């Protein structure tokens, strides 16, 4: 997280990728990896793949749904809206 907060998204991606290898069933690591990849130009596909892994591991994880919304923005507003509505149902805050 320190690398991510500093804006070093490549460094953060390396660390989160390592974390997913060490604990492949930790949905939070996959979600953070997805968020990190979403900040790196040209890594949208990897961001989506990491996010899908997080959702498979923990389908109702509230932190993953806004990430889905972020990834869909600009490409499919309707899908983004649907994902955000799901997030609100799970966690209205």
Determine contact, residues 80/73, Cβ cutoff 8 Å.
yes
CATH code, domain carrying 48: 1.25.40.10
Structural domain for 33, as ranges: 2-90
pLDDT of 86 reads 72
Determine contact, residues 89/57, Cβ cutoff 8 Å.
no
Task: Give pLDDT tens digits for 24-57.
Answer: 999 989 989 988 998 888 888 888 888 888 888 8
3-state DSSP helix/strand/coil % of the chain, to nearest 5: 75, 0, 25
- The pTM for the full model equals 0.68
State the pLDDT confidence band at 70, using cuts at 50, 70 and 90: low
3-state DSSP assignment of residue 44:
helix
Long-range pairs of 72-76 with CB within 8 A, sequence gap ≥ 24: none
Q: What is the count of structural domains for the chain?
A: 1
């Amino acid at each position: 997280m320190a690398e991510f907060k500093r804006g070093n998204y490549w460094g953060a991606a390396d660390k989160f990728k390592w974390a997913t290898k060490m604990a492949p069933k930790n949905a939070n690591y996959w979600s953070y990896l997805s968020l990190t990849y979403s900040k790196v130009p040209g890594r949208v596909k990897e961001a989506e793949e990491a996010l899908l892994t997080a959702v498979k591991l923990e389908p109702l994880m509230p932190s993953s749904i806004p990430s889905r919304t972020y990834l869909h923005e600009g490409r499919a507003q309707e899908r983004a809206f649907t994902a955000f509505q799901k997030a609100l149902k799970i966690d209205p805050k």
